[in-house]
Structure formats: structure tokens, C-alpha cells
Chain A
Amino acid sequence: QKEVEQNSGPLSVPEGAIASLNCTYSDRGSQSFFWYRQYSGKSPELIMFIYSNGDKEDGRFTAQLNKASQYVSLLIRDSQPSDSATYLCALHDTGRRALTFGSGTRLQVQP
């Protein structure tokens, strides 16, 4: 089974700073990568997906993919207290038609 590794945190950043969340994976064949945000007691919601090497920006969020090094990251610019949540990294396992999730990184944005 493909593995996805994330630091559990918590990652604490001050309001207005850049939060950097990282994820590494074991399967070089993985092609699609996803970032989800999960607030405490709620279900995960999709933030971004990325398929190609490089950066993909959406508002305050930037996803970065480096397939050679097998890592994917999520940058959150101008972090807000409302960004405090657990961020889940996932990759698409085409063999199972399912996503494999990391255990998540808890982000705390301090006002």
C-alpha cells in the first residue's frame, strides 16, 4: 500500500505569517496529490489538488510538487486564526481507485 507521511505537529505560526506544511510519499508512480483541511469535529474539505511538478496557486494557498524528491507541500500565506485546523495530504492510488491519506498535520495560527 502506498504510504503518505506527515508531521503530526502541532505547527504553530503567528497570524500573518506563512505556514508551510509538508508531506512525503513512498510510491514514485503516484500522479495526483490532494490537500484537505479538517476542522475539529468536521469532515475533510478539499483545498487543492496538483498533478504536475512545480507550484499551483489558489488565493492564499500554494501547493508545491516535486516528484523526483517525492514530496508535496502546502503553503498558506497571511495565515489567519481561521486556518487553524488539521491538514491532510492524500495521493491517488489508481490501482484501488481510492485516495491514500496521511495522518495529518495540526496547524495553530496564533492571533
Chain B
Amino acid sequence: SQTIHQWPATLVQPVGSPLSLECTVEGTSNPNLYWYRQAAGRGLQLLFYSVGIGQISSEVPQNLSASRPQDRQFILSSKKLLLSDSGFYLCAWSVQSGAQYFGPGTRLTVT
């Protein structure tokens, strides 16, 4: 069966500090991978998605970037965090059916 991992689970970072969030998927090959952000009490905002190694599509211009160095690894990064980057970051995977399956998420607080 497929499993998706995210770490860390929670993170408190000062403004201007760098960020690296990691997501890995087990039990499937060549998945589509996604990064979402959910602000408190808000809906899901798609940030990036990837259909293969090195292939990244950006949905919203901002100070975040994503990389996919391996088939089942997806990384979200920032060089300098803003207060507005606080939120619940969710990684998800899918195959051809379209249904997406979410990881447990990382709760980021920028102070």
C-alpha cells in the first residue's frame, strides 16, 4: 500500500530564515506530486505540482520554490521566510485516476 511522509510535523521559524520541507511517497512509481498551503480557516491553495523528476509547475508567484530530485521525493524551499508564509503545508500524490492522497502536513509558524 502507498504511504506518504512529511517532515517536520511542526516548525517555528523567524522571518528571513530559510525553509526546507520534505515529502516522500512509498509504494508507487512515477506519482504526480503536489504542494498545498492552507492558511488558518481557509481553503487549500495549490503551490506547485510535478509530473516527473525535475518537472515543476508553479501556481502562485511567491518566495517559495520546489524541487523533485527523485521520483518519490518532493521538497519545498524558501530562502527568506515572510510572516505570510505561515500555514499548514500539505504534500499530496496522485496517479492517473485524479484522486489525491495527502500527507500528514507540516504546520509552519513564522515569527
- The listed residue (A46, A101, A102) touching B101 by CB distance below 8 A is A46
Is there contact, CB below 8 Å, between A97 and B44? no
**Given A88-B44, A103-B42, A103-B43, CB of A96 within 8 Å of CB of B102:** no
Contact A98 B46 (CB under 8 A): yes
Interface SS majority for chain B: strand
How does the 8 Å CB contact mask read for B82-111 relative to A, with 1 for contact and 0 for none?
A: 000000001000100111111111010000
CA separation between A84 and B104, bound complex, in Å?
19
Given contacts A99-B98, A103-B42, contact A43 B51 (CB under 8 A): no
With contact pairs A97-B32, A97-B51 given, residues A92 and B102 touching in the complex (Cβ less than 8 Å)? no
Given contacts A34-B98, A90-B100, 6 further A-B contacts (CB under 8 A): A46-B99, A49-B98, A49-B99, A96-B57, A98-B49, A98-B59
| Interface status of A45 (Cβ within 8 A of chain B) | yes
Does residue A16 face the partner (Cβ distance < 8 Å to B)? Answer: no
Decide if A104 touches B49 in the complex (CB within 8 Å): no
List A38-71 residues whose CB lies under 8 Å from chain B: 41-46, 49
Chain B residues within an 8 Å CB radius of A99 = 46, 94, 98, 100
Q: Which residue of B lies closest to A34 (CB)?
A: B99
Question: Which residue of chain A is the closest to B48 with respect to CB atoms?
Answer: A98
- Known A34-B99, A97-B51; judge A43-B46 contact (CB<8 A): no
Q: How far is the CB of A13 from chain B (nearest CB, A)?
A: 21
B96 (CB) vs chain A CBs: closest residue: A97
- Residues 55-86 of chain B: 1 if any A CB is under 8 Å from the residue's CB, otherwise 0? 00101000000000000000000000000000
Name the distance in Å between B22's Cβ and chain A's nearest Cβ.
16
Q: Which of chain B's residues have a CB closer than 8 A to the CB of A97?
A: 32, 49, 51
